[in-house]
Amino acid sequence: MLRRAAAKLGFLSTPIPKSNSSSKSSSRVELRSLLNGNRNSEFCGPLTSFDWNEAEPRRVGTSSIDTTCTIWDIEREAVDTQLIAHDKEVYDIAWGGVGVFASVSADGSVRVFDLRDKEHSTIIYESADPPDTPLVRLGWNKQDPRYMATIIMDSAKVVVLDIRFPTLPVVELHRHQASVNAIAWAPHSSCHICTAGDDSQALIWDLSSMGTAGGSVSGGGGQQPAATADGGLDPILAYTAGAEIEQLQWSSTQPDWVAIAFSTKLQILRV
């Protein structure tokens, strides 16, 4: 029953307080919708992540350990599309546009899907050192969707990719001293990304000097970018928390603020 419950997606809302409502009741969070695609069997794979489509807010994508990605229509409270996305567990999902999303998996690949052609996907990257090492997190650059970043399981590096040149990273960021747990692209800049990990560090990088987002990757001549694996790029800002940082978010409405979560604390950082 625990696995079945974990496979459901619920949406919460805070009701608008009425004039005669008490302050206690007006702050109550209520369940608005429970999306459950598991109607024909007792068990199914738990969800691992989800992402809201900003360009088409009625769509939410979820990933699961059962190798699938599911696109939900929250207005109809029903599954819109379900795809077998990978050969193994899917750990993260991210939208890159109205009908385009990507996912990462325990099979070590980043795959991009276009809902206009549900029978095919494009493999953008496969982990190689060692081969098939699981990829656990994915971040798609919303300011420049040509670029995305991914995290390799138990690795201190972050891989930045250009979807126009599959398999070859644009740059690998190597300044963390322990496993990276979270990534977030700047909501207001195409060339800045924040990373955080088990070394208690939150680092902000400017990728424009590497010819990535915000720069001229192809140099105007359509040449394939050269991968940089020596970790030559240094972060422009660094913050040390009191414990391993498990999660971070870069505020889309207040882009000067980044939130990090570690231990029992949530901290808001000004950048």
Q: For 228-234, what is the mean pLDDT?
A: 64
How much is the pTM?
0.83
pLDDT digits (tens, 9 = 90+) for 14-30: 555 555 544 555 678 88
Note the pLDDT tens digit of each residue in 192-215.
999 999 999 999 999 997 654 444
One-letter-per-residue 3-state SS of the chain:
CHHHHHCCEEEEECCCCCCCCCHHHHCCCEEEEEECCCCCCCCCCCEEEEEECCCCCCEEEEEECCCEEEEEECCCCEEEEEEECCCCCEEEEEECCCCEEEEEECCCEEEEEECCCCCCEEEEEECECCECCCEEEEEECCCCCCEEEEEECCCCCEEEEECCCCCCCCEEECCCCCCEEEEEECCCCCCEEEEEECCCEEEEEEHHHHCCCCCCCCCCCCCCCCCCCCCCCCCCEEEECCCCEEEEEECCCCCCEEEEEECCEEEEEEC
What are 86's two structure tokens?
């990978």
pLDDT by residue (tens digit) across 44-88? 689 999 999 999 999 999 999 999 999 999 999 899 999 999 999
